[in-house]
Amino acid sequence: MSGGRVIVISGGVGGAKLVLGLAHAVPAERLIVVTNTADDFDHFGLRICPDTDTVLYTLSGLADPGKGWGRVDETWTFMGAMKALGGADWFSLGDGDLALHVLRTERLRAGANLTEITRDVATAMGIDATVLPMCDQPVSTKVDTTQGRLAFQEYFVRERCVPRVTGFEFNGIDTARVNPALAAALADRPEAIIIAPSNPFVSVDPILAIPGMRDLLRGCGAPIVAVSPIVGGTAIKGPAAKMFSEAGHDPTALAVARHYQGFADGIVIDELDTGLASDVAALGLGVEVLPTIMCDLQTRIDLASQTVAFASRLGGGLER
C-alpha cells in the first residue's frame, strides 16, 4: 500500500461488511466511506438515513449481526405502542435506533447539514474513519414497477421487493452536489476507489449520478475497483439479482462488470465465478478472483486488503 486515501462507495448491509474489513485493513486516517443517501426518507416526521446508519452501526460494533441493519440488543417498545395506536408498522424503528433519528431530525431543523451530523454521530460512536454522506441535498430513489411508482423503502420493505421493476429515478439528483469533503479528498491523489458489493442500481448508481461525480472519480487518477455483489448467479443480500433479471440480463458477475464497464478499471469476482473471468477481462476490465463471501470478520479483512492490493497493482498500470 502506498499510503494515500482509500475511498469506498457503499450502500447498506452488503457494503458495510467490506467497509468493516477496510476499517481493519487501512489506517483510519486514510479511510473515507461514502454512503448512499438516496434511500433516505421521512417517516413519522423523522429523517431516516438507512445506509449511512448501517455503516455507522457496523463500524462502531453496534449493528444487529443478524439483520445487518439497526442496533444489536434492540428493544421495540415504540413500535409496539405505535402499532397499538393504529400507526404504520411496516418500517421497524427500534427504541435505540429512534434516538439517532430524533437527534438527526432536530439538528437538521436547527440548520446543521447531514455531513456535520454524521461526523458528530461517528465521533460519539467512537468511529475513527471518515463517513461522508454522498451529498447534503435530499435525493430520493423512486422505483417504477408494473404496479406503479413506489418510494424506495415502500418497494424494499413494505412490498418486500416483489413488484417487477421497470426503472429507477433519483429525485433531486440534478440539484445535488458532490459532498465537498469528498471532492477535496479526490483532489488529494487518493490511492484507490473501491465500490463495495452493494446493489449497483439503487445503492451505487445514485452516488455516481450526482452531477460531476463520475468525472471527479475518474479524473482523480486512482484506480476504481468494484467488488461484485452477485456470486454464482445470486445476490448475497437483497434484490440485485432480481433487478438484473428484470432489466433483461442474466444475473451474473459478468452483468455487474458490464454495468461498471467504462467506469471501473477492475472488478473482484468470487471464486465460484472463475469461469466468467475471461469474459470479464474481454470487456477491458482487470479481474481478480477472490473468496468474496464475508461470513466473519477475518474474511472481511482478507477481502478488503486483497481488494486494495489489487487496486494498487492496477493503479501502477493506469494511463488516463
Strand partners, 66: none
187 vs 268: CA distance, rounded Å = 26
Nearer to ligand FO1, 158 or 189 (CB): 158
Q: How far is the CB of 271 from ligand FO1 (least distance, A)?
A: 26
- Residue 160, C-alpha cell as written in the block: 418486500
Gap between the terminal Cα atoms of the chain = 21
59 vs 80: CA distance, rounded Å = 28
| Chain residue whose CB lies nearest ligand FO1 | 12
Q: How far is the CB of 177 from ligand FO1 (least distance, A)?
A: 22
Nearer to ligand FO1, 15 or 251 (CB): 15
The answer for residues whose C-beta is within 8 angstroms of residue 19's C-beta and 6 or more apart is 8, 10, 33, 55, 58, 59, 196
Q: How far is the CB of 199 from ligand FO1 (least distance, A)?
A: 7
77 vs 286: CA distance, rounded Å = 50
Q: How far is the CB of 51 from ligand FO1 (least distance, A)?
A: 5
Interface ranges with ligand FO1 (CB under 6 A)? 11-13, 39, 48, 50-51, 53-54, 69-70, 91-93, 97, 153, 156-157, 203
Q: How far is the CB of 222 from ligand FO1 (least distance, A)?
A: 25
Q: How far is the CB of 105 from ligand FO1 (least distance, A)?
A: 13
Q: What element of type H or E holds 204?
A: none
Dihedral sign, Cα of residue 77, residue 14, residue 192, residue 320? negative
C-alpha 206, offset from chain centre: 10
Nearer to ligand FO1, 48 or 173 (CB): 48
Nearer to ligand FO1, 39 or 288 (CB): 39
Nearer to ligand FO1, 92 or 234 (CB): 92
What is the residue-wise DSSP string for 217-266?
A: HHHT---EEEE-SEETTEESSSSHHHHHHHTTS--SHHHHHHHHTTT-SE
Nearer to ligand FO1, 99 or 187 (CB): 99
Strand partners, 167: 144
Nearer to ligand FO1, 70 or 190 (CB): 70
Coil, strand or helix at 140: strand
Q: Residue 263, Cβ neighbours under 10 Å: how many?
A: 16
290 backbone dihedrals φ, ψ, rounded to 5°:
-140, 160
123 vs 37: CA distance, rounded Å = 20
Q: How far is the CB of 302 from ligand FO1 (least distance, A)?
A: 24
Nearer to ligand FO1, 94 or 223 (CB): 94
Nearer to ligand FO1, 199 or 312 (CB): 199
Q: How far is the CB of 36 from ligand FO1 (least distance, A)?
A: 7
Q: How far is the CB of 71 from ligand FO1 (least distance, A)?
A: 9
